[in-house]
Each structure stands twice: as structure tokens, then as C-alpha cells.
Structure 1
Amino acid sequence: MVITITLSATLHSPMYFFLRSLSIVDICYTTSTVPKLLLDFLSKVKKISFIGCVAQLYSFISFGGIECILLAVMAGDRYVAICMPLRYTEIMSFKVCKILVTMCWLVGLLNSLAHTVFTFRLPFCKSQSINHFFCDIPPLLALACADTTANEIVVYTAGGSVIVGSFLITLISYICIVKAIIKIKTVSGRYKTFSTCASHLTVVTLYFGTIVFTYIRPTSTYSLDQDRVVPVLYGIIIPMLNPVIYSFRNKEVQGSLKKII
């Protein structure tokens, strides 16, 4: 997707600029966990250094947060394109797009920094065995032998603000989009307009549904044995499906991909 959008002049628009950014984030997102996971499959002794665990948690939370905010920005882009088509090129200029993507990265990195600092300030004396396939907040808090109330507050405030805030922006954008689509008189016109955001809506539903289930709930409800499955969905499967969902449902991407191949 990154190569196709970069090389194809027909895809040099705000929507594909954000899609290329999403593809880059997905590459980084899966790279933070999958290579180590594959190595553990081949190793008899499955271990990670303390510094490696810090780096993995910071990377995973960073790119997860960036993806949340970027999906909200993409929903806003679809709102402007459908509800304000005559002003679309004026509002979503290339400069604005770069600023929005930069803000996604800054907020995601700072949010992850807060989580990482508060998590690794805790003393871990219960065990050195993490009940997970990577270093994540819930399994690390389970190993702490100190009060984790402050950590839970950070998760609900900082993390919750990123996740819930992004979700609300996305939800409001799609409410406005649906209202605009309903006003279109012809069925073919409605279908054509909705098809431009159907792929994004699919990704948003899958991603936010699984990530909210993992982080925005009381720690007393965590079941580490069962909750190991959910991060596989939002941390590995969904990023892998994103380019498939966007390319298979998009004739412009299909055409550009065929020309490049």
C-alpha cells in the first residue's frame, strides 16, 4: 500500500495520504510484537530483557494510540469529503494533512510515555513470568507488588482520552455522514457515497471494539488467560487486514496496483 500510493499519481489525495500513513503505522505496530513472538515460538527458553520489555510496551502503546487517532482523522476526512465537497480541497490541504498526521504521532508517543513511566516505576516482585505473549499493561500490573491505583487512573484518563476521544470523533463524523447520505435522493447515489467510507467503517468497528474491551474496563474483570486472544486481533490480525480491506474494496487502488505490478 505504501509503495502503490507513493508511486501512483492518481492516489495523491488526502484520503490516500492518510491511508499510506495508516499502513506505515500498521507496519510499526505489528513489528513491535510479531518478530519477538515468532522467535519465542522457535526458542525453548522464552525470555525478554527488562529494557526490551520497556521498549516493547512503549512501542506497542505508541503505535496503538497513533492508529486510534489516525482512524478518527480519517473519519473527519470522510466527513469533509461527503458533507462539504465544494470546500474539501481547501480544508484538507496537503499542509493540513501533514499537521494532522504529525499531531497523531505526537499525542500517541506522549500518551505511551505516560503509561510506560507509570508502569515501570512499580516494583515487580511477585514473579518474573509474564502471562502474555508480549509486555502489555494488564499482565505487568498483575506482577506488581505495590498499589496500582495510580496506574489505573493513568489508563482511564490518558489512555481513555485517546481511545474514547478518537471513538467519539469517529462516531460523530459518521452520524453526520449518514445524515448527508439519507438526503441523497437516488439509491445509486447513496450507495456510491457510502462505498467511499465503508472500508474505513469496517476497520474502525473491528479496531475500537477490541481495544476498548482490553483497556477501558476495571482491572478486576481481567482474565489474563482469556485476554491474550484479544490483543492478537487488534495488534496483529486487524493491521494485517487493513491493506486487504482497503485495496480489495477500492477500484482506484486495484487499478494502480495492477499498473505498478
Structure 2
Amino acid sequence: MADPREVREVLEDLRAEGEEVDGLVAGLPPGEWARATPAVGWSIAHQIAHLLWTDERAVQSAVDPEGFRREVAAALAAPGTFVDEGAERGARLPAAELLARWRTSRAELLTVLAGRPVGEKLPWYGPPMSVASMATGRLMETWAHGQDVADALGVRRVPTVRLRHVARIGVRARDYAYAVRGLTPPAGEFRVELVGPGGEEWVFGPEDAGQRVSGAALDFCLLVTQRVHRDDVALVAVGADAERWLGIAQSFAGPAGAGRAPGEVRR
């Protein structure tokens, strides 16, 4: 069972991450919401609409799990399109209404998750998630889609220690990245050694693991959220399995992402 303090910490970090992304778009003129982002076919409005849609789905998962399971069944009937459809609906809203709805959904999600038993498992599009894992997943997506918005605006964001949540879910999602591609995951754990934005050491996996990944936490987080190509980060892989993982790493639920082309990054 998760530590209640862990849940409170990740919820506070989720709140802060949402506020940071909110700050990127709050002052944009309405016309700027149509600016293209690195995600093909997605504008800034699509990015915020996706966060709105996913926050609302997370709330539904917690308060109406049976209704959410019906949503998942419908989504599986149209794999690869339901996420885009959700973003497209929200992107059609006037910018002020979209932002207001996203602020409301963020606040509701924080309240709902704070009120759930910490050990409860919530249904999701991938494996069921604990309250802490759901909050971590929402933080990861908020950060990743915020990166798309920042790239579209030419803004360089200052990395924060909140990246440790993104890094952790990226490591824990290793086997999912294989499974979603119909591949068999390696049998043993990998060692992942990352350096946080303030020089902190974030370490995952056994010290004696033969397959290892090391480097900057920002590079790792950009890679596992598929915001950069493997060739554009300085991560070091020791072992063929570790190198292969870095080529398919995926921290988010759903179909395998196409990722980014080499050189398609602005940081």
C-alpha cells in the first residue's frame, strides 16, 4: 500500500506542474492557440484539450469505474483514433472556455484523488493504477504535453525535481513498452542511474544488473515520453537489451507511439 505522504507529495507536484503549463498558455491571444506543435496535426489547443479530456477520464475512473470501463471498451473498438477525437472536440472550443474547463478538471482531479483510499486500484487504458500511480501518470502527461506547448512557443523550460516522477514511471513502464509492441520483455531488471536537475542522483533497479542506462534525467524523461529521438540524447546504454529499450521506451498507456524524428527537438 502506498504511503499517504507519497500520495500527498505527488498530488502537490501535479498541481504545480499544471500551474506551470497553465502559465505558458494563460496570456496567449486566441489566435495563438492554433499554433502547430511538434505533434503532427495538433495545435496548442489540441494539447490542452487532450489534458482536459484525460483529466476528465481519470476523474471518471475514480468516481464511476463501471462507466469508465464502458469508455475503454468503446475506445478499443476504435484504436488509434479515440485520443485524437477527444483532443479535436476540445480544440474546437473557444480558447477561454477550453482553459477554464481545463482548470476546473485539474482542480476536480486533485480533490477526487486526495479523497480515494491510497491502496485503491483504478481502472485505466493500460494496467489498473493506484492513486499515487494515477497522479504520477497525470503529472507525466502534463509535463510531456507542456513540453509540446513550450516547443511550439520556443520557450525553454527550467527542469524541476518533479521530473523524478516522470523518470520513475518511465522505468516502471519498461515491460509495457515491450508488450504493447508484441515483444517479450527481458527477464531481469535494468539499472537506471540518472542525474536530476540539481545534481541529485536518482537510481532504479539492482546495483549488480548487467543491463544499464545512465545520463541526465531530463534526457531520459524526454525520451520515455517520446519527445526526442534516441539519437538526440546523451544517454548511455550498457548492454544490447538496454539499448533496444531506449529505442522503444514509452511511459504512457495506449498504442505504441511513433516518436520523433532525429533532430526534431527544441530545448
TM-score where L is the length of structure 2: 0.26
Q: Answer 1 or 2: higher relative contact order, Cα 8 Å, separation at least 6.
A: 1
Bigger strand share: 2
Pair member with larger Rg:
1
TM-score where L is the length of structure 1: 0.26
